[in-house]
Structure 1
Amino acid sequence: GFLDADQAMLHDDSLKDELAGTTAVVIIIKDNVLYCGNVGDSRAVASVNGSVNVLSLDHKPSNEIEIKRIQAAGGWVEYNRVNGNLALSRALGDFVFKKNEKKKAEEQIVTAFPDVEVRKITYDWEFVIMACDGIWDVMTNEEVVEFVRMRLGTGMDPEDICEDLMTRCLAPDCQMGGLGCDNMTVVLICFLHGKPYEELVSKCNATGNGDSPFAKY
């Protein structure tokens, strides 16, 4: 699990003093049941018959539950950052925030303990988008789902849709306070339910996105 992987890195002499860290959002699908685990602020969102179904919770230092754990472990939140530094409250790595020997791994200032959401997949599930905050800081859940559905409705290849989405979020320069200048990772999972890809294309196209503001991007 997440904590086991984190502890393995912590006890690796080449990694234990590493200052960097990473978010993680993971999806496992078995017997039409979706399990989504995450630490940090990467996010997974599903389109269910065109509606947004949020599969993960962003772990931000501004969250009251996160603040309580951070303070109990000896940390603080300043400018919505852990100890005035880290902009997320759960992560793999970032071991400088995991030095309290009196606290369990899940009780540290920054923890790798995940939130896990479980969903039953039905035939109205169309796709899931998994992405880091380089996407979600620029577009809302609803905007991303609409953006993807519109392109699925044209028959565009999923890989090209991911590339299109990143291009849409990429700033022409870094004059906007860093917005659109972050690193970006996107994964698109399409649910075919045993049918050809063209069936999903027809479904997304049938709902009509012709007036979407994202049609021009």
Structure 2
Amino acid sequence: MSSNTHSSASTKRSVTAPGFTLGVSEDRNKRCRRTMEDAHAYITDFHGVPRQGFFAIFDGHAGKSTAEWCGANFHKTLLHCLEKNAETPVPEVLNLTFLEADRQVNQKEGKFSGCTAVVAYVQVKDKKRMLYTGNVGDARAVLSRQGKAVRLSYDHKGSDAKEAKRITDLGGFMMNHRVNGVLAVTRSLGDSVMKEFVVGNPYTTETELGNGDDFLILACDGLWDVCDDQEAVNLIKDVMDPQEASRKLLEHALANFSTDNLTIMVIRFTE
């Protein structure tokens, strides 16, 4: 099983494994940010099965400790939950995994910091490959299907009317699109003092991968603040090297004055 977790140094070359090639680019964005609070992780041959994979980005706030804990540990929690709930549909297992990771991180790191998360799990099942995603906050997953961008995540932000209503129904308040005037995201891992309102329940999707599914982009909001889904797909659809593709998206975000840390992962699906 090949694995990697990172919080600062960028992968310079594409990673190739059965079923995937992938590249990751990241940048602190020194014009705007003093520290890098993102972390990411990927594991090929996940659970010892060729062509399975785990890919994730964690965008920290109020410090990097929650994001770094997730980068090092979230996949272990997912494996445990998959083994413990073998007969449960995977989207439900993803929900359990997010909640368990949230519980674990809030015992320590989450008292002081939090993170958004976007996670993709590719499972081999009866010769098919299923793509499962889960996210909290505004890190995003975008699939390129025959050149069209398909969003597989949901932006949990204070500017979203449904999320704002959920917060106020629970007794919280929104100020300047921020939960209780503090947090711009309405769901996260960590943030234990806000947990009554800022829950860890993810938005999940299930997609059967087919011939037209070329690649998946996972990225924190530093990209999506300055680039829409289809634009991102168009920028890299002809770039076969996913490391080069991730770098191109990062440079596009910097050129368009993104003000956040940047982490971008591009996963190309192969046979």
TM-score w.r.t. length of structure 1: 0.74
Corresponding position of 1:188: 266
- Report if aligned partners of 2:115, 2:189 keep a CA contact under 8 Å in 1: yes
Change (3 A) 1:41 1:16: closer
Structure 1 runs of 4+ with >4 Å offset: none
- Report if aligned partners of 1:61, 1:82 keep a CA contact under 8 Å in 2: yes
More RCO (CA 8 Å, sep 6+)? 2
Q: In the TM superposition, what whole-angstrom CA distance separates every residue of 1:99-122 from its partner, at most 9, and x where no partner exists?
A: xxxxxxxxx310111111111111
Corresponding position of 1:140: 228
After TM superposition, the structure 1 = structure 2 runs for residues 1-217 of structure 1, keeping only pairs within 5 Å, are 1-12=97-108, 15=109, 17-18=111-112, 20-31=113-124, 32-98=129-195, 108-152=196-240, 157-171=241-255, 179-192=257-270, 194=271
Q: More strand by proportion, 1 or 2?
A: 2
Deviates more, 1:47-56 or 1:58-67: 58-67
Q: In the TM superposition, what whole-angstrom CA distance separates every residue of 1:7-32 from its partner, at most 9, and x where no partner exists?
A: 112223xx3531x2111000111121
Q: In the TM superposition, what whole-angstrom CA distance separates every residue of 1:169-193 from its partner, at most 9, and x where no partner exists?
A: 1148xxxxxx41210111111012x
- Report if aligned partners of 2:191, 2:198 keep a CA contact under 8 Å in 1: yes
Q: Percent identity?
A: 40
Measured in 1, the distance between the counterparts of 2:130 and 2:98 equals 20
Measured in 2, the distance between the counterparts of 1:168 and 1:22 equals 24
Measured in 2, the distance between the counterparts of 1:64 and 1:191 equals 35
Measured in 2, the distance between the counterparts of 1:16 and 1:117 equals 26
Task: State the structure with more CA Rg.
Answer: 1
For structure 2, the residue ranges without an aligned partner over 5 or more in a row are 1-96
- Report if aligned partners of 1:171, 1:181 keep a CA contact under 8 Å in 2: no
For structure 1, the residue ranges without an aligned partner over 5 or more in a row are 99-107, 173-178, 195-217
CA RMSD of aligned residues (A): 1.5
